[in-house]
Structure 1
Amino acid sequence: MLPLIVVATHAEAERLLDLNARVIVSGVGVVAAALATARALAQQNAGLVISAGIGGAYPASGLLPGDLAVSSGIVQADLGAWDDSRFLDFEELGLSVLPDSPHTGRFSTWAAAPEVARRTGAHLGQMLTLSSVTGSVEAAAFLEERFPSALTEGMEGAGIAHAALLAGVPVLEVRGVSNAVGPRDRASWQISQALAATRKGVAAALEVWLEF
């Protein structure tokens, strides 16, 4: 069974099409990613699902544009409720993303993730999924306080992880860093370098998968 690589955009897919894997473009956002992944796995099973693409890095992560991040866990970080200025996550609310068991939107990732990070020199840590891109220093700091080991944020990872979990397939998120999380400064983004880092991470993951 070939691994399945899920990306949000055609630009992200273009750098990966020659790899020995099935690549699909889901569209942007957690719902689009979950639906596309579920459909792809229903059509053809996979030995591994990789959520791949570019993303922003949290300031405390130490990651710079062009660096690579590999997931030790994937978190749907905006699931919850606001109580005035306090955010209540699903654990506090007693809610679950699964109907028959407790699950708060924190997804475990492929056991070989540390080896992928070791081979590529990537940072290994949590990756956050949000439905809206963080756009201020204060919002980034709030998320870092909630998730001290967070490396990057994206808009698809948790949806892909959820679909993979339901299908019983291990999942990994790989992101090349294009910018810092915070104020939206498009002039400082390094898209080409981030795409190259993403390819490096995905290629290494596929090599490890063949050996694992």
Structure 2
Amino acid sequence: MTSTHRRILIVVATHPEAARLRDLEGGGTRVVVCGVGPVAAALSTQAALLGGTYDLAVSAGIGGAYPGSGLRPGDLAVSSELVQADLGADDAGTFLDLETLGLSVEPGVDPGHTGRFRGWDGGAEAARRAGGAYGPALTLSTVTGSAAAARALEARYPGALTEGMEGAGVAHAALRCGVPALEVRGVSNMVGPRDRSAWRIAEALAAMRRGVEALREG
């Protein structure tokens, strides 16, 4: 399918993120501002997908990169999978994921779905065209604020590139609507202790846009 025919729903959390993409709307591309977090993202994505016809749902925005990813502020990451990384149980300091607990985000589906959503098949090629990294994108409702917590997440999800707050919500809604999903993140900061002086918002927004443009070109 060529870019002129691919219908893309782009879901972002904030108006500044949307402002960098508004001129790309039209020709099948729509930008929706959902608000922060996976619940807001899922609700807005579902409403948009039920109200229109799309070939791809994209969670786009800025976010943090894990220390082991090799990424730095201003870089681009594209998701191989979108993971609801904090969905599970704490057992005396040990994290138990849904697979361990025998639970599913999609009841009645066999095998159960554990909140790890496969990214769109064209993601790797889009990452290559845009000069971005390709790997797992983690979604958390609370932003990670310590080096120890960042290391624990990297150990739990090997190869994790970025952390955001909406991707898995977009992917879950897209799954229920039968539409593939992808996450595109421009890196604004490193995951861990919050140092706002080191954030690079403008560079991250530029990287996010580069990733979205690559989706339209393919």
TM-score in terms of structure 1 length: 0.97
Instruction: Give the residue type in structure 2 aligned to 1:179.
Output: N
Q: Which runs of 5+ in 1 are unaligned?
A: none
What's the CA shift for 1:50?
0.8
The equivalent of 2:64 in structure 1 is 56
2:45 is paired with a residue whose SS is: helix
1:148 is paired with a residue whose SS is: coil
1:56 is paired with a residue whose SS is: strand
Instruction: Give the residue type in structure 2 aligned to 1:116.
Output: A
Distance across 2 between alignment mates of 1:25 and 1:100: 31
Structure 1 runs of 4+ aligned residues shifted over 4 Å read: none
Instruction: Give the residue type in structure 1 aligned to 2:145.
Output: G
The equivalent of 1:107 in structure 2 is 117
The equivalent of 2:171 in structure 1 is 161
Distance across 1 between alignment mates of 2:52 and 2:169: 18
The equivalent of 1:133 in structure 2 is 143
The equivalent of 2:189 in structure 1 is 179
The equivalent of 1:36 in structure 2 is 44
The equivalent of 2:131 in structure 1 is 121
The 5-angstrom pairing of residues 6-21 of structure 1 reads 6-19=11-24, 20=26, 21=29
Identity of aligned residues (%): 65
Distance across 2 between alignment mates of 1:49 and 1:83: 35
What's the CA shift for 1:152?
0.2
Q: Which runs of 5+ in 2 are unaligned?
A: 1-5
TM-score in terms of structure 2 length: 0.94
Q: 1:53-95 CA deviation, whole Å, 9 max, x = no partner? A: 0000000000000000000001000010011011100000000
What's the CA shift for 1:119?
0.6
Distance across 2 between alignment mates of 1:207 and 1:170: 17
The equivalent of 2:73 in structure 1 is 65
What's the CA shift for 1:142?
0.3
1:184 is paired with a residue whose SS is: coil
The alignment covers a number of residue pairs equal to 208
Distance across 2 between alignment mates of 1:6 and 1:52: 6
1:80 aligns with 2:88: yes
Distance across 2 between alignment mates of 1:142 and 1:2: 38
1:126 is paired with a residue whose SS is: strand
